[in-house]
A and B are shown apart, each in its own frame.
Chain A
Amino acid sequence: MGTPETSREPCPDRIIDDVGGAFGMGAVGGAAFHFLKGIYNSPKGARLIGGSQAVRMNAPRVGGSFAVWGGLFSTFDCTMVYMRQKEDPWNSIIAGAATGGFLQMRQGLGASARSAAMGGILLALIEGAGIMLNKFMSEQQQQPIVIEEPGATMASVPGLPQMGHPGAEAPSVSSEGSSGSWLGGWFGKGKEPEAAGSGSETKVLESFDAPAVPTFEFK
């Protein structure tokens, strides 16, 4: 195991950081957007002043909206982690749905349910994208390890993907299954010449000669 993930605080303090981060993103992004919009909408000669006025009027509001969304999401996420006692993508999805529903609660049950569904779907998409990215990155890391040492013996080469697998994180466990079968297929070809020449004393452990010509008999 390498350095643990130290960029995020543990759960209760994480809420403060998430509120601050969301407000910062909303304020800076809103400032840039409304500055450009203010410049566009101002008369010539007063563009910069118009832009800065638009920023002063709108950027804190946008930042505040982001901060409310981010703070509520983080609170619900930490609550789900505490209730379920595990770290899952499901926590984030349920938290997104809860945030969406909570923010529209005053508009009634229908609006609240629709907003909750939208929040849940949005977070499911984000989490799904994150999981696929993780899978893709860990598959890329496992491939070069196997290809780099073609001269190693049969005993050590299966050791490498096995060392790689426990080192991978939990979300890539599902990728382990798919890449394991791919690797198994790769080593399966190497095993056939050994079975064919098993009568001799010296066993060739790894053979990179051409494999036996496949027959079409059923075994």
Chain B
Amino acid sequence: MSHPMSSSDHDHNNSDPVPTRLYNPYQDLQVPIRNLYQLPTSPEFLFVEEARRQRRSWGENVTFYTGCTYLGGAISGGGVGLVSGVRSFEAGDTMKLRINRVLNSSGHTGRAWANRLGVIGLLYAGMESGVQAMRDADDVWNSVAAGLGTGAVYRAARGVRSAAVAGAVGGVLVGMAVGAKQAVKRYVPI
């Protein structure tokens, strides 16, 4: 009902056997008009400086990773501290006392976890940018090497064996994370 004209046109074509052919409006034009409809699939940049950048700078890498790990540590540590604070309520506590307990324990645990994870993020991001600058390549191996190094440096004070184990754990974790990210990009339809 909303398109009476087109429906009547369709009926006209189907009922009356008037032969039709498709007309190519560009048939007489000698210009490469097809290029108009073949759009590029790469991102289109407005400024040359933006188009020339291929990878994150080390500053962007460091601030992003450190910020993410710090905030993740703060939120998870705060949550764990909240639970333990609520669990430590005693009978006969006033509301003010309860709030105080919760704030204290969530703040304490949140700060501790956030600081540790923030240091790990800082070390990892710094090492990844360093390895990338040294190798001048964009690989999985940059990340794995950075994971190895981060684990080793983080546990360096506990001894050589502890550092080696932590480095291996870090390398394996990072390898799994990067592999999972590539698998998700290839197979998960988002």
Contact = CB atoms under 8 A, between A and B. Distances in A.
Interface of A: 3-4, 6, 15-21, 23-24, 27, 52-53, 56, 59-61, 63-64, 67, 71, 106
Contacts, number: 72
A3 B103 CA distance: 46
Interface string B116-140: 1011011000000000000000000
A93 to B, nearest CB: 24
A23 B68 CA distance: 11
Contact of A64 (B50, B114, B157): B114
Given A56-B157, A60-B116, A60-B118, A20 B66 contact: yes
B85 to A, nearest CB: 15
B129 to A, nearest CB: 12
A20 B67 contact: yes
A64 B71 contact: no
Nearest to B69: A20
Interface residues of B, number: 24
B115 interface: yes
Contacts of B60: 17
A16 B64 contact: yes
B98 interface: no
A16 B75 CA distance: 13
B49 interface: yes
A71 B69 CA distance: 13
A52 B63 CA distance: 24
A27 B67 contact: no
Given A20-B64, A60-B115, A63-B115, 20 more contacts: A3-B47, A16-B63, A17-B63, A18-B67, A19-B66, A19-B70, A19-B71, A20-B62, A20-B68, A20-B70, A21-B67, A23-B67, A23-B70, A23-B122, A24-B122, A27-B119, A59-B119, A60-B119, A63-B119, A64-B70
Contacts of B68: 16, 20
B114 A67 contact: yes
B118 A27 contact: yes
Contact of B115 (A4, A20, A61): A61
B121 A20 contact: yes
Given A52-B157, A56-B157, A63-B115, A3 B67 contact: no
Contacts of B121: 20
A15 B67 CA distance: 8
14 contacts: A6-B49, A15-B67, A16-B63, A16-B68, A19-B67, A20-B68, A20-B70, A21-B59, A23-B70, A24-B66, A56-B157, A63-B115, A64-B111, A64-B115
A49 to B, nearest CB: 9
Contacts of B66: 19-21, 23-24
Contacts of A15: 67
Nearest to A60: B115
Contacts of A56: 157
A60 to B, nearest CB: 4
B65 interface: yes
A16 B71 contact: yes
A56 B156 CA distance: 11
Given A60-B115, A60-B116, A3 B64 contact: no
A23 B69 CA distance: 11
B57 to A, nearest CB: 9
Contacts of B49: 3, 6
Contacts of A23: 66-67, 70, 118, 122
Interface in B38-89: 47, 49-50, 59-60, 62-68, 70-71
